[in-house]
Amino acid sequence: MTTQAPEKMEFQTEVRQLLHLMIHALYSNREIFLRELVSNASDALDKARFESLTNADLLGSDTALKIRVEADKENGILRISDNGVGMNREEIIHNIGTIASSGTKKFLESLTGDQKKDANLIGQFGVGFYSAFMVADNVVLTTKRLGEDGSAWRWESTGDGSFTLGEAEKETRGTVIELHLKEDAKEFLDEWRIRNLVTKYSGYLAHPVALVASEGEQKGEEEILNDQKPLWRRPKNEVTAEQHKEFYQHLTHGQDEPMAWSHNRVEGTLEFTTLLYVPGKAPYDLFNPERPHGLALYVKRVFIMNDCKELLPPWLRFMRGVVDSEDLPLNVSRELLQKNTVIRKIHDAAVSKSLNLLETLSKEDPAKYAAFWKEFGAVLKEGFHMNWDHLDELKRLIRFESSRLVAGEYTGLQDYVLNMKDGQKDIFYLTAENRRAAEGSPHLEVFRKKGVEVLYLVDPIDEWVVQTLTEFDGKKLVNAAKGALDLGELSAEEKAREESATGTYGKFMADFAAKMPDMLKEVRVTARLAESPCCLVSGEEDLGANLERILKMSNQTVPESKRTLEINPDHPIIQRLNARFEANPNDPRLPDWYGVLVDQALLAEGSDLKDPAGYVTKVNGLLKDLLEA
Ligand code: ADP
């Protein structure tokens, strides 16, 4: 074998920035480097075990998978080694070299400048390995890939712009990472400190973590620091909240804390364990369709894969956790997963357990549930149009902002019903671009006057939710901006007023509609307005202004639909305009007045004007009249 001289390579720009930060800016909480490296080692052992499932000889005689931590005080080196999969040359370059993961970029964008918070971001974005440079001024990684005959490799860097990569001497598979500790980081050579850190951060790991004595009579002896029973295999009531938190962070490579969890063992025709977590924070790429999701799958304690998407539907993609099955074959493949009935049943159980967990959270801790909703509500809402098996649960879980509550607070449908007025039959909602637009909508006026709560549906997906969510508890969900408004007994008085005014304004309304044939289907009197002179409503069957806006934004062609204009019979503008019409039905300014009123109704509901310049010309013409009068 000819050994080539090590090659010098440049880190990619983002990696360079990240390293610079690790070395110069992030000092607090740097002890997490050990968790990150031990966690990587554990993942490498999982992968080795997995690869050996299909090839029993792969591991040779070295079947005891283990992580070793050794403090070499003499040389100031902390060594973390594993006999896991290791890496070949390409893998090294790809994983810890030239290519910045999209996570690295996002990490850099997310920095707040607050050291503590920023250090906490490290794990979350999959940049864990580089945290070594918080404590080391030189890192040497020697690694040999499992199952490949090729050579071993030595990667070395001082964390400046480059690293070197060359062949190395290493007989056994796996990875050794040598951290040449900085002067001010020598504390991490202290065995007591290491023992504490490993127990604190890595106690739940399924692989043994050994502390190797470096001095004295015990030199070379190994002390196992964890008890290696996978956390989900322990009796439920023996696992502490602190352990769940640590395990969740290992599982997700994150620093957020889970909001809630559910740990269940099912024993029947099928045997499996589910451990589900509701995360505390949404990942930055929650809405990236390519983002992997699902639960980690184990078969009889053996790691099979992360992100097994067959275990949870996309609308529960925020959930994290583990499934460990007794019934699946160990050599289960991706193809097999797709049509496997065992997986299907575990999937159904995981969905029910997730929904139960959320419902319990919503009842026991509404404030926490509101925080959950802020992070993940939009994802859960996708369930309404993707799956009808769980509509009842989803209806109990959905939350909205509303006219009864201040911004940022949510109501559920059960609470809405409890707050309904005597005589109110329906559940009312408005769809709008945002809360401000909903609050400013003329359609809200009568509800405000009557003290009737209106839900604000201000998330684009809400338009699709209400296609499926049409009733709750026997009450219809009614769009407050569509069709003729029926407030039932609540508006008997207004109904009478509508009828009497319809006679008064009959001719005027016919003229109004006739002069705007492209825009208007009809002009009618309404009792729904208090302050505004008029508003536009859509037909029950039409898309509605908000949905039209959303569709246009995504460049879809929207069929033109005519609208109904409703006028407020008690508004002075309407009254005077009617008088002007009666005095002279051919008044040349009438079309401008009509046009301005319609355009203003469009603006009030948050729609765009078809001809903004035309609107300005009309308004200016009317202002000129006023000034000259
Ligand atoms: P993450 O672990 O979140 O993917 P890291 O920066 O910690 O991010 O590691 C990058 C990659 O380097 C890992 O995904 C893995 O492929 C590889 N790696 C790191 N440590 C080891 C190890 N001890 N053995 C094998 N591969 C490793």
Pocket test for ligand 1, best of 19, 40, 96 (most atoms within 8 A of CB): 40
Note whether 83 and 141 are same-domain residues: yes
List alpha helices for 279-390, DSSP H. 334-339, 341-364, 366-381, 383-386
- Contacts of residue 531, Cβ cutoff 8 Å, sequence gap at least 6: 442, 445
Pocket test for ligand 1, best of 129, 145, 163, 176 (most atoms within 8 A of CB): 129
Q: Ligand 1 centroid to 281 CA: how many Å?
A: 23
Dihedral Cα 406, 412, 418, 420, nearest 10 deg: 60
Task: Give the residue from 224, 239, 274 where a domain finishes.
Answer: 224
114 in any annotated domain: yes
Weakest-pLDDT range from 48-52, 102-106, 275-279: 102-106
Q: Could you give the angle at the alpha carbon of 147 between the alpha carbons of 142 and 149, nearest 5°? A: 70
Q: Ligand 1 centroid to 43 CA: how many Å?
A: 8
Q: Ligand 1 centroid to 40 CA: how many Å?
A: 5
The answer, as to whether pTM is greater than 0.85, is no
The pLDDT score that the predictor gives to residue 139 is: 97
Note whether 170 and 284 are same-domain residues: no
pLDDT tier at 380 (50, 70, 90 boundaries)?
A: very high
Q: How far apart are CA 72 and CA 186, in angstroms?
A: 11
The pLDDT score that the predictor gives to residue 123 is: 52
Note whether 89 and 140 are same-domain residues: yes
User: Cβ(126) to ligand 1 under 6 A?
Assistant: yes
Q: Ligand 1 centroid to 591 CA: how many Å?
A: 71
The pLDDT score that the predictor gives to residue 598 is: 96
- Is the pLDDT assigned to residue 503 strictly greater than 70? yes
| Pairing of the two strands 411-412 and 320-325 | unpaired
Note whether 212 and 336 are same-domain residues: no
Note whether 38 and 14 are same-domain residues: yes
88 in any annotated domain: yes
Q: Name the domain count of the chain.
A: 3
Weakest-pLDDT range from 133-137, 363-367, 368-372, 560-564: 560-564
Q: How far apart are CA 28 and CA 402, in angstroms?
A: 42
- Is the pLDDT assigned to residue 127 strictly greater than 80? no
Q: Is the Cα dihedral 250, 251, 252, 256 positive or negative?
A: negative
The pLDDT score that the predictor gives to residue 484 is: 72
Measured by CA distance, the residue closest to atom 4 of ligand 1 is 126
pLDDT tier at 545 (50, 70, 90 boundaries)?
A: confident
User: Cβ(85) to ligand 1 under 6 A?
Assistant: yes
The pLDDT score that the predictor gives to residue 3 is: 59
Is 605 or 507 the better-scoring residue by pLDDT? 507
Q: How far apart are CA 629 and CA 624, in angstroms?
A: 9
Strand order in the sheet with 260-267: 260-267, 271-278, 320-325, 295-299, 302-308
Distances (CA, A) of 256 to 121, 125, 203, 283, 488: 9, 12, 18, 10, 49
Q: How far apart are CA 175 and CA 66, in angstroms?
A: 11
What digits encode the pLDDT tens for the residues 50-102? 899 888 889 999 889 999 999 999 999 999 999 999 999 999 998 887 666 66
Q: Are 173 and 58 in contact (CB under 8 A)?
A: no
Q: How far apart are CA 340 and CA 323, in angstroms?
A: 15
> Of 127, 512, 103, 51, which is closest to residue 291 (Cα–Cα)?
103
> What mean pLDDT value characterizes the chain?
89
Pocket test for ligand 1, best of 19, 43, 85, 176 (most atoms within 8 A of CB): 43
Q: Ligand 1 centroid to 129 CA: how many Å?
A: 6
The pLDDT score that the predictor gives to residue 54 is: 82
Closest ligand 1 atom to the C-alpha of 47? 25
Strand order in the sheet with 136-144: 7-10, 162-168, 152-157, 136-144, 174-181, 77-82, 67-72, 209-212, 222-224
Task: Give the residue from 336, 366, 396 where a domain finishes.
Answer: 366
The pLDDT score that the predictor gives to residue 124 is: 58
> Of 402, 426, 422, 421, which is closest to residue 412 (Cα–Cα)?
402
What average pLDDT score do residues 274-303 get?
90
**CA-based end-to-end distance of the chain:** 102
Q: Are 358 and 370 in contact (CB under 8 A)?
A: no
Q: How far apart are CA 409 and CA 402, in angstroms?
A: 8
Measured by CA distance, the residue closest to atom 23 of ligand 1 is 41
Weakest-pLDDT range from 232-236, 411-415, 488-492: 488-492
| Range ranked top by mean pLDDT from 63-72, 93-102, 105-114, 337-346 | 63-72
413 in any annotated domain: no
Note whether 325 and 300 are same-domain residues: yes
Domain that holds residue 90: 7-224
User: Cβ(95) to ligand 1 under 6 A?
Assistant: yes
Note whether 203 and 254 are same-domain residues: no
Q: Are 437 and 444 in contact (CB under 8 A)?
A: no
Distances (CA, A) of 497 to 168, 489, 572: 92, 14, 16
| Residue 170 backbone dihedrals phi, psi, to 5 degrees | -160, 120
User: Cβ(132) to ligand 1 under 6 A?
Assistant: no
pLDDT tier at 115 (50, 70, 90 boundaries)?
A: low
332 in any annotated domain: yes
Note whether 81 and 219 are same-domain residues: yes
The pLDDT score that the predictor gives to residue 333 is: 75
The pLDDT score that the predictor gives to residue 321 is: 97
Distances (CA, A) of 90 to 93, 98, 380: 5, 11, 39
Q: What is the DSSP letter of 529?
A: -
Altogether, the residues listed in the chain come to a count of 629
What average pLDDT score do residues 15-43 get?
82
Measured by CA distance, the residue closest to atom 16 of ligand 1 is 95
296 in any annotated domain: yes
What average pLDDT score do residues 246-263 get?
89
The pLDDT score that the predictor gives to residue 350 is: 97
Residue 281, both tokens: 């924070």
Note whether 218 and 236 are same-domain residues: no
DSSP 578-603: HHHHHH-TT-TTHHHHHHHHHHHHHH
Task: Give the residue from 366, 395, 415 where a domain finishes.
Answer: 366
- Contacts of residue 254, Cβ cutoff 8 Å, sequence gap at least 6: 123, 124, 248, 279, 281, 283
Note whether 17 and 135 are same-domain residues: yes
Measured by CA distance, the residue closest to atom 11 of ligand 1 is 95
CATH number (domain holding residue 36): 3.30.565.10
Note whether 110 and 259 are same-domain residues: no
| 3-state SS assignment for residue 470 | coil
Q: What is the DSSP letter of 609?
A: P
- Is the pLDDT assigned to residue 1 strictly greater than 60? no
Note whether 246 and 212 are same-domain residues: no
CB atoms within 10 A of CB 499: 11
Residue with tokens 């894969």: 305
| Residue 11 backbone dihedrals phi, psi, to 5 degrees | -70, 150
Closest ligand 1 atom to the C-alpha of 84? 24
CATH number (domain holding residue 531): 1.20.120.790
| Range ranked top by mean pLDDT from 463-467, 487-491, 560-564 | 463-467
The pLDDT score that the predictor gives to residue 490 is: 65
427 in any annotated domain: no
Q: Are 335 and 297 in contact (CB under 8 A)?
A: no
423 in any annotated domain: no
> Of 220, 277, 209, which is closest to residue 248 (Cα–Cα)?
277
Pocket test for ligand 1, best of 36, 89, 95, 141 (most atoms within 8 A of CB): 95
CATH number (domain holding residue 296): 3.30.230.80
58 in any annotated domain: yes
| Range ranked top by mean pLDDT from 24-28, 108-112, 286-290, 564-568 | 564-568
User: Cβ(100) to ligand 1 under 6 A?
Assistant: no
User: Cβ(42) to ligand 1 under 6 A?
Assistant: no
Q: Are 274 and 350 in contact (CB under 8 A)?
A: yes
Q: Buried b / exposed e across 86-117, counting CB within 10 Å, b at 16+?
A: bbbbebbbeebbeebbebbbbbbeebeeeeee
User: Cβ(96) to ligand 1 under 6 A?
Assistant: yes
The pLDDT score that the predictor gives to residue 348 is: 95
What digits encode the pLDDT tens for the residues 185-229? 999 999 999 999 998 878 778 899 999 998 888 888 999 998 878
Q: Ligand 1 centroid to 44 CA: how many Å?
A: 8
> Of 384, 388, 380, which is closest to residue 410 (Cα–Cα)?
380
- Is the pLDDT assigned to residue 625 strictly greater than 60? yes
pLDDT tier at 150 (50, 70, 90 boundaries)?
A: confident
Radius of gyration of the chain (CA): 33
